C-alpha cells in the first residue's frame, strides 16, 4: 500500500530551482479568461507595455519596476498588452496498472505532474489536477499563482493509485470513459492545455486521446512505462495476472514468445506515436528507469513541451 509522497520527494529543492528557468510551450495562441503571462490574439500581435499593477506574492520579481519602487517606494509590476491567463489540466492515470515497476510508475507520474504544475503556476497559469480512477475522474480545485505551488504539490503528493483488482473487471476503469469524464470537466473549465500522464495500457487508449483532444486547445501525452514492460525478463511457464483487471493469461515465456512480445511492444509504441502525430498531439515517452531530471530538461525541451 503506497503512502502519499511528500512534496520534497516529488520535487527536490535543486530541481525546483532549475525548473524556474523553464516554461511551458504552447503551439497556438490561446483564449484565456484572466491575466497571465501569455499573449492573447485579442490584444494584438505585438508585445508592448500597457500599464502597471500592484505587486502580489507569486509575481515574477523580474517584472517589478525598480525605478518606480525607488521613486515611490511601492512595488509595481509591469503589465504587457498581450498577456493572458492559461488553464492547464494535468490528467494523471491513477489506474492499478500504474502501481507497478521499479520505481513505481505512478510515483514517477506524480513527479512529472508536480514539475509541470509548478512550471505552470510559476508562469502565472491556472492549474487543475485530475486523477483518472476506476471509480471515476477525481478533480482537484484550481491552483493559481506561484504561491499556491506548495498546495499543488501537496495535492499531487496525496494521490494514490487504485488498489489491485482481484476480480476480473474489464470495463469499469476504461481509460476512454475516464478521459471523457475528465474532458467534461476540462471543457467546463475551458482548459487550454491538457497534459495526459499515463501508461496507456488499455484497449481504449485511442478513444481516450481522441476524447481529451476534442476538449482542449492543445494536448500533450506523456507516456510512462517501466523497462520491464518493454523488455520483460520473465521466463518459464507462467500465469500472467493483470494488475488492473485480475484477468489471467497462461503463457510459456520462451525466447520465441519474448521476441514476439518485444516486437508487439515496439509496434504498439510506434502506433501510439503515429496516432498522436497525426492529430497534432505532442507525445513524449518516459521509461521510469531513466533519470527524471535528464528527461525533463532534455527530452521535453527537444519535443517542444518546455523551453
Partner 1 sequence: MLSLLAPAGLLLGLTLPVVILLYLLKVRRVDQRVSSLFLWQSMPRDLAAQEPLQRLRLSVLLVLQLALLALATLALARPAVVAVGPPPVHLVLLLDASASMQAIDPGESASRFERARAAAEAAVQAAPEGSSFSVLEARAHPQVLLAREPSAARALEAIRAARVSGAAADMPGALLLARSLAGTGTSRRILAFTDQAYSLPPSERDLLGTDLEVVPVAGDAANSAITVLGARPRLADPDGQDLYVRLEHFADEPRTVEVELRVADQLWEVRAVELAPDKPAELVFEGVPTAAGAASVAIRKPAVTAAHDSLSLDDVGYFALQARRPTQVLLVSNGEPRLERALTLVRRAEVFRVTPRRYLAADVDRFDVVVFDRDVPPLLPRGNILILGPSGTAPFLPQGPDQILRQPQTLTWEQDDPLLAFVDLRGLSLRRARVLEAPAWARVPMRAEGAPIMLAGVDAVGRRVVVLGFTPLESNIASLSAFPILVNNIMDWLAPPALVSHHQLRTGEATDLTPLARARDLVVSGGGDQAARSIIPVPRDAAPITFGATDRPGVYVVEQRAQDGSLLPEATERFAVNLADPAESDLRPRGDSVVTTATQEVAEVPLEREFWWWVLGLALPLLALEGWWFHRR
Q: For residues 292 and 9, is the Cβ–Cβ distance under 8 A? A: no
* Residue of the chain from 183, 217, 243, 288 that contacts partner 1 (CB under 8 A): 243
DSSP code per residue over 106-150: HHHHHHHHHHHHHHHHHTT-EEEEEEEETTEEEE---EESGGGHH
* Residue of the chain from 264, 298, 301, 307 that contacts partner 1 (CB under 8 A): 264
Report the SS3 class of residue 295. Answer: helix
Q: For residues 87 and 190, is the Cβ–Cβ distance under 8 A? A: yes
Residue 52 contacts partner 1 per CB under 8 A:
no
Minimum Å gap between C-beta 268 and partner 1 is 6
Minimum Å gap between C-beta 109 and partner 1 is 13
Per-residue mark of binding to partner 1, 139-178 (x: CB under 8 A)? -------------------------x--------------
Minimum Å gap between C-beta 197 and partner 1 is 15
Of 138, 167, 133, the C-alpha closest to 247 is 167
* Residue of the chain from 87, 101, 117, 123 that contacts partner 1 (CB under 8 A): 101
- Considering only 51-59, 60-68, 230-238, 275-283, which stretch makes contact with partner 1 by CB under 8 A? 230-238
Residues with Cβ within 8 Å of 20's Cβ and at least 6 positions away in sequence, in order, are: 122
Distance CA(53)–CA(56), nearest Å, equals: 9
* Residue of the chain from 40, 140, 198, 202 that contacts partner 1 (CB under 8 A): 202
Q: For residues 106 and 77, is the Cβ–Cβ distance under 8 A? A: no
- Per CB under 8 A, residues contacting partner 1 are 97-98, 100-101, 105, 164, 199, 201-203, 226, 229, 234, 236-245, 247-252, 254-257, 260-261, 264-265, 268
Amino acid at each position: 500500500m503506497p503512502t502519499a509522497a511528500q512534496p520534497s520527494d516529488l520535487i527536490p529543492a535543486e530541481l525546483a530551482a532549475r525548473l524556474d528557468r523553464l516554461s511551458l510551450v504552447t503551439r497556438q495562441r490561446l483564449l484565456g479568461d484572466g491575466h497571465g503571462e501569455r499573449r492573447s490574439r485579442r490584444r494584438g500581435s505585438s508585445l508592448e507595455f500597457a500599464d502597471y499593477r500592484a505587486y502580489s506574492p507569486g509575481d515574477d520579481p523580474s517584472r517589478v519596476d525598480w525605478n518606480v519602487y525607488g521613486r515611490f517606494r511601492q512595488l509595481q509590476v509591469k503589465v504587457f498588452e498581450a498577456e493572458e491567463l492559461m488553464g492547464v489540466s494535468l490528467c494523471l492515470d491513477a489506474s492499478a496498472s500504474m502501481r507497478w515497476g521499479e520505481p513505481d510508475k505512478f510515483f514517477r507520474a506524480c513527479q512529472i505532474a508536480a514539475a509541470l504544475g509548478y512550471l505552470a503556476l510559476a508562469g502565472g497559469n491556472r492549474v487543475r489536477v485530475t486523477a483518472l480512477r476506476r471509480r471515476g475522474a477525481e478533480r482537484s480545485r484550481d491552483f493559481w499563482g506561484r504561491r499556491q505551488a506548495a498546495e499543488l504539490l501537496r495535492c499531487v503528493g496525496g494521490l494514490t493509485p487504485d488498489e489491485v483488482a482481484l476480480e476480473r473487471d474489464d470495463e469499469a476503469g476504461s481509460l476512454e470513459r475516464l478521459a471523457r469524464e475528465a474532458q467534461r470537466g476540462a471543457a467546463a473549465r475551458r482548459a487550454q492545455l491538457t497534459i495526459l500522464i499515463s501508461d496507456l495500457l488499455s484497449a481504449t487508449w485511442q478513444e481516450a486521446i481522441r476524447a481529451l483532444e476534442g476538449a482542449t486547445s492543445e494536448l500533450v501525452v506523456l507516456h510512462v512505462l517501466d523497462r520491464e514492460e518493454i523488455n520483460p525478463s520473465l521466463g518459464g511457464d507462467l500465469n500472467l495476472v493483470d494488475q488492473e483487471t485480475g484477468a489471467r493469461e497462461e503463457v510459456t515465456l520462451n525466447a520465441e514468445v519474448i521476441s514476439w512480445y518485444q516486437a508487439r511492444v515496439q509496434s504498439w509504441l510506434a502506433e501510439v506515436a503515429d496516432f498522436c502525430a497525426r492529430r497534432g498531439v505532442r507525445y513524449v515517452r518516459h521509461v521510469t528507469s531513466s533519470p527524471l531530471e535528464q528527461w525533463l530538461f532534455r527530452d521535453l525541451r527537444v519535443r517542444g513541451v518546455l523551453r
